Amino acid sequence: MYKAKVNITLRKSILDPKGKAAYQALQNLGLKKIEDVRIGKFIEIKIDASSEDEAHKLAQTACTELLSNEVMEDYQITIESI
Amino acid sequence: MSKKIGVIVFPGSNCDHDAYHAMKHVMNVETTFLWHKDSDLSDIDLLIVPGGFSYGDYLRSGAIARFSPIMNAVQVYVKSGNPVLGICNGFQILLEANLLPGAMLHNEKLRFVCKNVHIRSENNTSVFTKGLAPGSVLNVPVSHGEGNYFIEDDGLKELQDNRQIAFRYCDENGEITPESNFNGSVHSIAGITNKNGNVLGMMPHPERAMESILGSEDGITFFESVFNQLQLA
């Protein structure tokens, strides 16, 4: 059994208004060394696959077909054996 | 055979009855609801994908509705050249279903915006806009939190070259101003068509601007133009 951890963020070229709002609040908090904030989604998927490679492929299909929208989002997959 | 309009109902649609009322009681055309599990569109002459919050907008607005059984029939319906109008969440669903290019981001200022706005007809190349002279201004309501239309530069160029931009946000005089682009959409885009011109997606709600008591009757102007082209009236 594997666990896929998927991070989805808005593509770099796209303005992230939630991230901007959080960034501004953190500035107001006095955390001046924080230079940028991007807000995305974190999704955990349990996969009954026979290998890490198969689990990765399945997670990738899940991302391209549903979990992320390639027009505006990037995704990153990490696979863990559980 | 009399002409018939179909309005799809997804779990979470909430403008389905507005659309039904506007079509059946204001425009006087036979109209029927289609459940998202239906698959027969054979007697439908115009299909409306209405607004709302299908599947609670989980993941991304429109993302889950794309997998409703009726959407396979919609893909075939579109390929055969039949007309589909997506309003608000319906537009988002058509984007997620790859029936229209681009995607929807959260409104630039993150607020849900519910107010009347002005939109300008940009071209009269599709069946939906043929009856509207380019430059015509309509006063129609918007009601959305994710209507910030996004497309990359080359995609925008393609929309322009193919004359797929149907409507842009403007002021009451038809001028495109930064202030009138309240949600931050690329190129102030309020509505686009597919390349063939038989699919229109728009964020504003013409079906909610059908009676003067509701503040505007400009929706009638829009639907009359559509109905004339489709010979529905």
Each residue's pLDDT tens digit, A40-77: 999 999 999 999 999 999 999 999 999 999 999 999 99
Tell me what pLDDT residue B233 has.
65
Compare all CA atoms of chain A with the CA of B107 and give the residue at the minimum distance. A17
Within 8 A of B109 by CB-CB distance, chain A residues are: 17
Residue type, B57: D
Q: Check CB contact under 8 Å for B150 and A67.
A: no
Suggest the residue from A72, A74, A75 to mutate for an interface test with chain B (most B CBs closer than 10 A): A72
Within 8 A of B150 by CB-CB distance, chain A residues are: 14, 71-72
Sign of the C-alpha dihedral computed for residues B106, B110, B115 and B116 taken in this order: negative
A12 in helix, strand or coil? coil
Q: Reply yes or no on whether B207 is catalytic.
A: yes
- Structural contact between residues B122 and B168, judged by C-beta atoms closer than 8 angstroms: yes
Among B59, B101, B105, the residue with its CB nearest the CB of A72 is B105
Q: Reply yes or no on whether B106 is catalytic.
A: no
How confident is the model over B13-42, as pLDDT tens digits? 999 999 999 999 999 999 999 999 999 999
Q: Which stretches of chain A are assigned E, i.e. beta strand?
A: 2-10, 41-47, 73-81
Within 8 A of B67 by CB-CB distance, chain A residues are: 66
Question: DSSP of B94-114, one letter per residue?
Answer: HHHTTSSSSEEEPPTT---EE
Compare all CA atoms of chain A with the CA of B96 and give the residue at the minimum distance. A69
- Structural contact between residues B205 and B140, judged by C-beta atoms closer than 8 angstroms: yes
Residue type, B179: E
Among A14, A15, A71, the residue with its CB nearest the CB of B102 is A71
Q: Reply yes or no on whether B217 is catalytic.
A: no
ipTM above 0.90, yes or no: no
B→A interface, C-beta within 8 Å: 59-60, 63, 67, 95-96, 101-103, 105-110, 150-152, 184
Within 8 A of A14 by CB-CB distance, chain B residues are: 105, 150
Question: A66 — contact with chain B (CB < 8 Å)?
Answer: yes
Domains and CATH numbers, chain A: 2-81 (3.30.1280.10)
Of B88, B96, B122, B144, catalytic:
B88
What is the spatial distance between Cα B95 and Cα B79, in angstroms, rounded to a whole number?
A: 15
Longest CA span, chain B: 48
Question: A67 — contact with chain B (CB < 8 Å)?
Answer: yes
- The domain over range B4-230 is classified in CATH as 3.30.70.2860: no
Percent of chain A with pLDDT over 90: 91
Per-residue pLDDT of chain B (233 residues; tens, 9 = 90+): 578 999 999 999 999 999 999 999 999 999 999 999 999 999 999 999 999 999 989 999 999 999 999 999 999 999 999 999 999 999 999 999 999 999 999 999 889 999 999 999 999 889 999 999 999 999 999 999 999 999 999 999 999 999 999 999 999 999 999 999 999 999 999 999 999 999 999 999 999 999 999 899 999 999 999 999 998 86
What is the spatial distance between Cα A20 and Cα B15, in angstroms, rounded to a whole number?
A: 32
Suggest the residue from B55, B58, B59 to mutate for an interface test with chain A (most A CBs closer than 10 A): B59
- By 3-state DSSP, what share of chain B in percent is helix, strand and coil, each rounded to 5? 30, 25, 45
Among B103, B110, B184, the residue with its CB nearest the CB of A72 is B103
Question: A29 — contact with chain B (CB < 8 Å)?
Answer: no
Among B63, B95, B110, the residue with its CB nearest the CB of A21 is B110
